[in-house]
């Protein structure tokens, strides 16, 4: 005789995943994503700030040289040109300075040399580093009033930034004569001089700056931020695990006691260990087992 089929078959057992595991994994992911995102944003902000600072430094230096080097370019005095270059090379980030005449001919140039030890920022003065000569020609042809910035890779892979700006002066139409005549102020401009006269190009100034020093500082910041982020994440996961244990352990004990009651043990009871919703649930469970007994 065949056994009747159960009209309500029990569902197949599902894979059990503890509430504690879900709680810990969920909060840990939130902590990891939040800390990593904030750390990445901070590092990107620092990198952008360093690059803006480097660009500002190069622009200030090349514009100052262009302003202070007008007389030296007009006279092509090598002593004055060397003094201008030496003053700019005193800045740590400056690798080279090139001063060209109005036709692109190089009047003076100095370089600290190729970077041979990035860790100590040591340079080889016997292996000078200079930019592409076309950068000066482009600056002279453009005759722009602002510095142009051209990034390039030097020998050895060092990243450099070339700042180039033409040196100009207002060409007087009448009145002032001679190569040393500088543009007069508007209030002192003689009658007959036009402020719209074409500018005379005296030459070009180029300064090469390296970002290696700032890259070292950025690498230090990255390591510090990564270490601090790791510590915060670890502390957060440990705190999450401890909190999950305080919440889930009483629930696990309550589930075990409920299982005993379901098996017929009406004497099962629990002692409340917390003063929250879990503790209230434990007291209600004890009252329920007492009423059943």
Which of 137, 146, 174 minimizes the C-alpha distance to 59?
146
The confidence score (pLDDT) of residue 13 equals 56
Which of 232, 230, 248, 236 minimizes the C-alpha distance to 22?
248
What confidence tens digit (pLDDT) does each residue in 268-290 have? 777 777 777 777 777 887 788 77
CA distance 85 to 50: 24
The ranges of the chain with pLDDT < 70 are: 1-17, 143-145, 170-198, 266, 293
The confidence score (pLDDT) of residue 177 equals 46
The confidence score (pLDDT) of residue 238 equals 93
Q: Are 172 and 193 in contact (CB under 8 A)?
A: yes
What confidence tens digit (pLDDT) does each residue in 19-39 have? 778 888 899 999 999 999 999
For residue 200, the SS3 value is strand
The confidence score (pLDDT) of residue 6 equals 53
Which residue ranges make up each domain of the chain?
Answer: 69-113+128-210
The confidence score (pLDDT) of residue 15 equals 63
Show the DSSP H helices in 147-276 as ranges.
212-262
The confidence score (pLDDT) of residue 64 equals 93
Supply the CATH classification number for the domain 69-113+128-210.
3.30.450.20
The confidence score (pLDDT) of residue 198 equals 62
Q: Are 92 and 209 in contact (CB under 8 A)?
A: no
According to DSSP, the β-strands at 106-111 and 94-100 are antiparallel
The confidence score (pLDDT) of residue 187 equals 47
CA distance 50 to 72: 33
Q: Are 138 and 148 in contact (CB under 8 A)?
A: yes
Which of 187, 190, 183 minimizes the C-alpha distance to 67?
183
CA distance 181 to 145: 20
């Amino acid at each position: 005789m065949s056994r009747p089929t159960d009209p309500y078959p029990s569902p197949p057992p599902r894979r059990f995943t503890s509430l504690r595991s879900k709680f810990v994994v969920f909060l840990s992911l939130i902590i990891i994503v939040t800390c990593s995102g904030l750390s990445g944003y901070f590092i990107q902000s620092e990198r952008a700030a360093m690059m803006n600072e480097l660009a500002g430094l190069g622009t200030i230096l090349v514009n100052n040289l262009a302003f202070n080097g007008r007389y030296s370019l007009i006279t092509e005095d090598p002593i004055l040109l060397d003094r201008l270059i030496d003053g700019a090379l005193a800045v740590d980030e400056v690798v080279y300075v090139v001063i060209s005449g109005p036709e692109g001919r190089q009047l003076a140039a100095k370089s600290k040399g190729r970077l041979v030890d990035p860790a100590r920022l040591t340079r080889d003065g016997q292996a000078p580093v200079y930019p592409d000569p076309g950068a000066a020609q482009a600056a002279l042809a453009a005759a722009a009033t602002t510095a142009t910035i051209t990034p390039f890779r030097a020998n050895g892979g060092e990243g450099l930034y070339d700042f180039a700006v033409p040196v100009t002066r207002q060409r007087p139409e009448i009145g002032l004569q001679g190569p040393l005549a500088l543009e007069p102020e508007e209030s002192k401009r003689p009658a007959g001089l036009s402020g719209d006269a074409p500018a005379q190009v005296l030459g070009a100034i180029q300064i090469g700056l390296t970002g290696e020093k700032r890259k070292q500082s950025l690498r230090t910041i990255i390591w510090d931020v990564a270490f601090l982020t790791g510590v915060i994440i670890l502390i957060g996961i440990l705190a999450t695990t401890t909190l999950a244990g305080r919440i889930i352990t009483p629930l696990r004990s309550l589930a075990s006691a409920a299982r005993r009651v379901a098996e017929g043990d009406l004497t099962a009871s629990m002692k409340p260990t917390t003063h929250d919703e879990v503790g209230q649930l434990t007291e209600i469970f004890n009252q329920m087992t007492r009423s059943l007994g």
